[in-house]
Structure 1
Amino acid sequence: MVNRAFRTALLSMAACGLALTAPLSVQAQSPAPAASTPAPAAAPAATSADPVVARVNGEDIHRSDVQRMVSQLPPQVQQMPLEMIFPAVVEQLVNSKLVAAAGYKANLAGTPEVKEEIKRAEERAVQRAYIQKEVAARITPAKLDEAYKEFLKQNPPQEEVKASHILVEKEDEAKAVIAELNKGGDFAKIAKEKSKDPVAAAQGGDLGYFSKDTMVEPFANAAFAMNKGEISKTPVQTQFGWHVIKVEDKRTQPQPTLDEVKPQLEQQLSKDIVTAVVDDLRNAAKVETFQIDGSPLPKEEPKAEQPKADAPKAEQPKK
């Protein structure tokens, strides 16, 4: 069964003119009786890169048409297996072809309304193509390298600590744990037996590497003030309870490579380039804007110059 999200998406597209709002059959329709069914056209070659998946009055519908329609559906629908939604999409494409053919037969292609809509669609396609061309031309290796250096500057490497902890409810319990550790107790063993943090306890108290800003302040301040291999001499209190901390290691967090942040940099550069392209076009054009009724905008009144305050007089020396 095609789920409700897919049905709603297809009907929404239909309302926008992308498909016909005919009732959708969730399952493949049963074929008509053989006596009334015309002989099918020859099946397209199975090796075709873009096979024909339907034919309406001799006009082919290709798999690429199905994929294009799916790409216009909501993300949750696009994630469905194509085989699951394929029959319903093909049905809508067939319906669209039939309605379009009827419209052409009625000589609607030449009406002012259709011509205006075609013009707007063409403008949108040309706009998109122009922006894509400009972005591709302006995102050069030099620009990416410059953006990467700025990224590294704005995101300096952070210090990280690898620590383990034992979490208990009361301060006296934490002090007893510290005393046990000072006598040679095994930190990981005690953590598994006594820690109230079940996730870390299962790993012998191990919290892995973390930066200072990812932990609550009292815990982070204590851990980053300790040396490698050191165990906290006094319990550390947070809203979660009382902690006994052991610092396993310290390191400087490695910065990401250019390849790792390239998609992010390209996205930011694209936004900047689009803004620059539009600004350049506006600066080179004569743009006039009017009020909603078409009348001229009111002229801005020049701001009155504020009178300058008199300079303070020097204080006369007292006699």
Structure 2
Amino acid sequence: MLTSPRLLASSTFALLLTGAAACLAQTPPAPPAGIAIPPAPAAALPTVNGVAITERDVSAALAELSEAIEGVPEATRRTQLIDYLVTLKVVAAQARKEKQGEGPDFEARSRFIIDKMLTESYLRSAVAKSVTDEAVAAFYKDQVAASPSEVEVHARHILLSTEEDAKAVVAELKAGKDFAELAKEKSQDPGSKGEGGDLGFFPKDRMVPEFAEVAFALDPGKWTETPVKTQFGYHVIKVEERRQTPTPPLAEVDGQIRTYLARKTQAELVQKLREGAQIEKK
């Protein structure tokens, strides 16, 4: 069974963590009073069988193992990353001696991994160039701030299973009964019954059309004298208030805009490259 490079890296690194934890568990003796301990120097970069480990290697390992080292103290993180790289080079050298890196399957897998890394790097670079603060601000101005604000209503309802029961509730309302109290007493909607039928604020497209059309036609403080039939039963609806939804500030939607623009940039770029490529299907 093939093991992914990321899983192999994580498992190898986990073994290193185990060894490091055992060493850290041994508490060193306290220094004599009055003697200052100099800070530990940054771990030096070794060579393995004549092959140098570079700062770029350490950075690459840090990026690849970012999740695995989250719980590692920062003071020992660099040392353990370097230990991992030493292990990697020692084992990889032996694998090369045994010709583990040869054969069409290994070559195909290597090409796939390299192509994937190149694709991710290229798309990240394209997004970084395209999705700038200026692009986000322009999208916000054109698509968010310029859009008409949405109307919402704050409504209550009393849901009954029959039209006869709903008409009886309307009669009680006309006689002066409180809407919220009647909802608590008689509504068959378990989600709003305990709140006096309160549905809060909602836009028109959140409710089924039959309900929404009537609710958005009512003036605040008014209720329906004719029960409204929907797939759920018969509703008596009261509108408490109406409002225009405020436009969210840029800071509130900045992340959403960046995500949208990044996906749009990538999709358009990929489509353009595919259209310009010679793709032959056999």
Q: If the length of structure 2 is used for normalisation, what is the TM-score?
A: 0.63
User: Residue deviations 1:157-179, cap 9 Å, x none?
Assistant: 22111111111122121111111
> 2:65: which partner in 1?
69
1:60-209 correspondence to structure 2 within 5 Å? 68-69=64-65, 71=67, 98=87, 100-105=89-94, 107-108=96-97, 113=102, 125=117, 128-152=120-144, 156-209=148-201
Deviation at 1:104, TM superposition (A): 1.3
> 2:77: which partner in 1?
none
- Which protein is richer in helix relative to its size? 2
2-structure distance, mates of 1:184, 1:238? 26
Contact 2:145 2:247 survives alignment (8 Å): no
> 1:229: which partner in 2?
221
Contact 1:20 1:95 survives alignment (8 Å): no
Deviation at 1:280, TM superposition (A): 8.0
Would you say how many aligned residue pairs link Structure 1 and Structure 2?
A: 249
Q: 1:197 to 1:12 in 2, by over 3 A?
A: farther
Deviation at 1:19, TM superposition (A): 5.6
SS of residue paired to 2:223? coil
Q: Which runs of 5+ in 2 are unaligned?
A: 23-27, 29-36, 73-81
> 1:4: which partner in 2?
none
Deviation at 1:129, TM superposition (A): 4.1
2-structure distance, mates of 1:233, 1:255? 35
1-structure distance, mates of 2:140, 2:86? 49
- Residue number among 228, 238, 241 corresponding to 1:249 in the alignment: 241
Q: Which runs of 5+ in 1 are unaligned?
A: 1-10, 32-39, 84-92, 293-319
SS of residue paired to 2:229? strand
Which structure has the larger Rg over C-alpha atoms? 1
Q: 1:256 to 1:108 in 2, by over 3 A?
A: farther
Contact 2:95 2:101 survives alignment (8 Å): no
User: Residue deviations 1:75-105, cap 9 Å, x none?
Assistant: xxx9xx959xxxxxxxxx9899656513314
SS of residue paired to 2:154? strand
Pairwise CA RMSD of aligned residues? 5.1
Higher relative contact order (CA 8 A, sep 6+): 2
Deviation at 1:282, TM superposition (A): 8.6
Q: 1:213 to 1:12 in 2, by over 3 A?
A: farther
> 1:214: which partner in 2?
206
Contact 1:20 1:96 survives alignment (8 Å): no
User: Residue deviations 1:165-196, cap 9 Å, x none?
Assistant: 11112212111111111121111111111111
Task: State yes or no: 1:13 paired with 2:14.
Answer: no
Deviation at 1:274, TM superposition (A): 3.7
